[in-house]
Amino acid sequence: MMNHADLKEAIIKGETSLGIELGSTRIKAVLIDRRFETIASGSYEWENLLKDGYWTYNQEDIITGLQTAYRELKQDVEQNYGVTLKTVGSIGFSAMMHGYMAFDSAGELLVPFRTWRNATTDAAARELTELFQFNIPERWSIAHLYQAILNQEDHVPRIHYVTTLSGYIHWMLTGNKAIGIGDASGMFPIDESIHNYHPSMVKQFDERIASKGYPWKLEDLLPKVYLSGEQAGDLTEAGARLLDPAGDLQSGIPLCPPEGDAGTGMVATNSVRKRTGNISVGTSVFAMIVLEKEISKVYPEIDMVTTPDGSPVGMVHANNCSSDLNAWMGLFREFSEAMGLGADSGKLFSVLLNKALEADPDGGGLLSYGYLSGENITGIDKGRPLFVRSPESNFNLANFMRTHLFTAFGALKLGMDILTENEDVAIDSILAHGGLFKTPVVGQKILAGALNVPISVMSTAGEGGAWGMALLASYLVNKDQEESLDNFLAQKVFKDVEGLEIAPDAKDVKGFEAFIKRYQAGLAIEQAAVDHLLENGRD
pLDDT tens digits for range 135-164: 999 999 999 999 999 999 999 999 999 999
Q: Tens digits of per-residue pLDDT, 275-285?
A: 999 998 888 88
What pLDDT does 453 receive?
94
CA angle 287, 291, 293 (to 5 degrees): 145
- What average pLDDT score do residues 122-127 get? 96
The residues facing 518 across adjacent strands are none
Quote the crossing angle between the two packed helices 442-451 and 345-355, to the nearest 10°.
40
> Distance between CA atoms of 301 and 411, rounded to whole angstroms?
10
Q: What predicted TM-score, i.e. pTM, was given to this entire model?
A: 0.88
Q: What is the CATH number of domain 4-260?
A: 3.30.420.40
Give pLDDT tens digits for 344-398. 888 899 999 999 999 999 999 999 999 988 898 998 988 999 999 999 999 999 9
DSSP 28-71: EEEEE-TT--EEEEEEEE---EEETTEEE--HHHHHHHHHHHHH
CA angle 12, 17, 22 (to 5 degrees): 125
Per-residue confidence (pLDDT) for residue 58, from 0 to 100: 93
DSSP 296: S
Amino acid at 372: L
What are 17's strand-pairing partners? 32, 90
Do 161 and 221 meet the contact criterion of CB atoms below 8 Å apart? yes
Q: What is the mean pLDDT of residues 92-103?
A: 96
Q: Give mean pLDDT, residues 311-330.
A: 92
How far apart are alpha carbons 402 and 443 in whole angstroms? 10
Task: Place 539 in a pLDDT band, splitting at 50, 70 and 90.
Answer: very low
Rounded to whole angstroms, the Cα distance separating 69 from 77 reads 13
Q: Which residues are paired to 303 by β-bridges?
A: 315
CB distance 293 to 270 below 8 Å: no
Exposed, middle or buried, 459 (CB in 10 Å: 0-12/13-18/19+)?
exposed
Relative to beta strand 276-281, strand 429-433 is parallel
Same topology between domain 4-260 and domain 270-318+415-501: yes
Cα–Cα distance, 416 to 154 (Å, whole number): 41
Task: Please tell me the predicted confidence (pLDDT) of residue 462.
Answer: 62
| CB burial of residue 146 (10 Å; 0-12, 13-18, 19+) | buried
Percent of the chain with pLDDT strictly greater than 70: 99
Segments making up each domain of the chain, as ranges: 4-260, 270-318+415-501, 323-411+506-532
Using the predicted structure, report yes or no on whether residue 54 has a pLDDT greater than 60: yes
- The CATH number for 270-318+415-501, chosen from 3.30.420.40, 3.40.605.10, 3.40.190.290, 1.10.3720.10, is 3.30.420.40
Rounded to 5°, the CA angle 303-307-168 comes to 85
Tens digits of residue pLDDT in 190-225: 999 999 999 999 999 999 999 999 999 999 999 999
pLDDT, tens only, 429-479: 899 988 788 888 999 999 999 999 999 998 776 668 899 999 999 999 999
